[in-house]
Amino acid sequence: MYKGAAEAAEFCLGLREEELEGVDVVVCPPFVSLAVAVQLLAGTEIAVAAQNVHWEEEGPYTGEISAEMLLELGVYGAIVGHSERRQYFGETDETVGDRVRAALAAGMFVIACVGETEWERERGETEGVLQRQRSALDADDNLVLAYEPVWAIGTGKTATPEIAQEAHAFIKSILDVPVLYGGSVKPDNAAVLLSQPDVDGALVGGASLDLESFIAICRAGANIPS
């Protein structure tokens, strides 16, 4: 919940001036900033996605936004099932699956988030949690997963490259889709995380709020010298 329309506009204007070849870049601002992001990034290769999407086309769901509404704005895709949605807003594996299927059916690109809490990891339940969360999802050409170890989000903790690789390899063994890593990705750790064979990209949180920080991470992904 950062960057209203004015701040988002400043960010997008700066981002569109950068040469970011060799990497797919997507920005996911709040709903109120989507229109300006779409407008200012038009004509570039940078996509705009929402932070959530509802499973119905319309109806008595106050506060929700449908895939059709997003597509009308020119929005490319949506994040679904982010750990904060699960933690604070009652998102479940079932509702994540409903949202993913609706968005894909509407022709959107989807980043679906999975990952274990610190308590679950300490109990050795990581693979069981990932298997359960995956069970609500089916492979699709427009689906990407994001592995978010919840214990590494906003805590300053980061999964080691080995932990990230192990989790990504397991996810790919149960669902054949690209997998991003999300969990305190920063310019100083992006390259080593993204160099792991089964890490296909990054879902960047706090480090994406600063334009220079985000660009540095994009360059790490594209192997573009700073």
SS3 content of the chain, % helix, strand, coil (to 5): 45, 10, 40
Four-residue CA torsion sign, 68, 74, 76, 82:
negative
Active site (annotated) includes residue 82 = yes
CB 26 within 8 A of CB 57: no
Q: How far apart are CA 124 and CA 85, in angstroms?
A: 24
> Please, what is the end-to-end C-alpha distance for the chain in angstroms?
29
Which string of DSSP letters, residue by residue, matches 15-45?
A: HTTS--TTS--EE---GGGHHHHHHHHTTSS
Q: Partners of 2 in the beta sheet?
A: none
Q: How far apart are CA 96 and CA 13, in angstroms?
A: 32
Looking from the CA of 169 toward its CB, the CA atoms found within 13 Å total 8
Q: Which of 54, 91, 116, 148 is catalytic?
A: 148
Q: Which of 82, 91, 116, 168 is catalytic?
A: 82
Q: How far apart are CA 134 and CA 132, in angstroms?
A: 5
CB 182 within 8 A of CB 199: no
Q: How far apart are CA 102 and CA 13, in angstroms?
A: 31
* Residue numbers annotated as active site: 82, 148
